[in-house]
Amino acid sequence: MLRKARAKQERVIEAVRQGLEGEAAVAFLHQSGYAMTSAGIARHLRNLGGRGSIVEQIEAGRTNAEVLAAAFPEEGTAPVPDEAPSQGDLFEAAPQAAPAPLPFPKEDLFETTRLTLRIPTDLHTALRLAAHAEGTTQAQLIIDLLTSAMSRMPNLPPEEDGDG
């Protein structure tokens, strides 16, 4: 728990280093993976000695780790050891950025028809996993696969000469 709290405080120091305040600081911390409010940031700033103290230390050329060590001298300067990741952390999918939306509705591009397929369960599972890995829907993956397969030139038999 201490490691997580120190990581949050380090990101708060980094927000101060970047000159972020208010909603900009909250947005920065959200992007860093910490769900904090401005009140939470203020609480961490008080625990670190105040915003002014942090700014002074930054201007003196101290790193974020040095600012943390100065704020909590009783902990010593040894870095907090990392905890071994849990198995769920190892296999958890990394968040992917959503694709940019089209400037017009996708349905307006082509005329569409609904299609129902009966496929083996293992093939359905493979499609589901592949769609998840590519960050798309199963329907879009099937459309992409069919479009790719249908766009290839067919293998035609070699032409025979009429002389023969």
CATH code given to domain 106-151: 1.10.1220
Q: Is 159 left (phi over 0), alpha (psi -120 to 50) or beta?
A: beta
Asked if 30 contacts 88 with a C-beta cutoff of 8 angstroms, the reply is: no
Per-residue exposure over 26-64, b if at least 16 CB sit within 10 Å of its own CB, e if not: bebbeeeebebeeeebeebbeebeeeeebeebbeeebeb
Nearest to 65 by CA among 26, 11, 28: 11
pLDDT in single tens digits along all 164 residues of the chain: 577 778 888 888 888 888 888 888 888 888 888 888 888 888 888 888 888 888 888 888 888 888 888 887 776 545 545 566 666 666 666 555 566 665 555 555 667 777 788 889 999 899 999 999 888 888 888 888 888 888 877 777 777 765 54
pTM for the full predicted model: 0.46
What pLDDT score does 129 carry? 92
Q: What does the block give as tokens for 117? A: 């397929």
Three-state secondary structure call for residue 104: coil
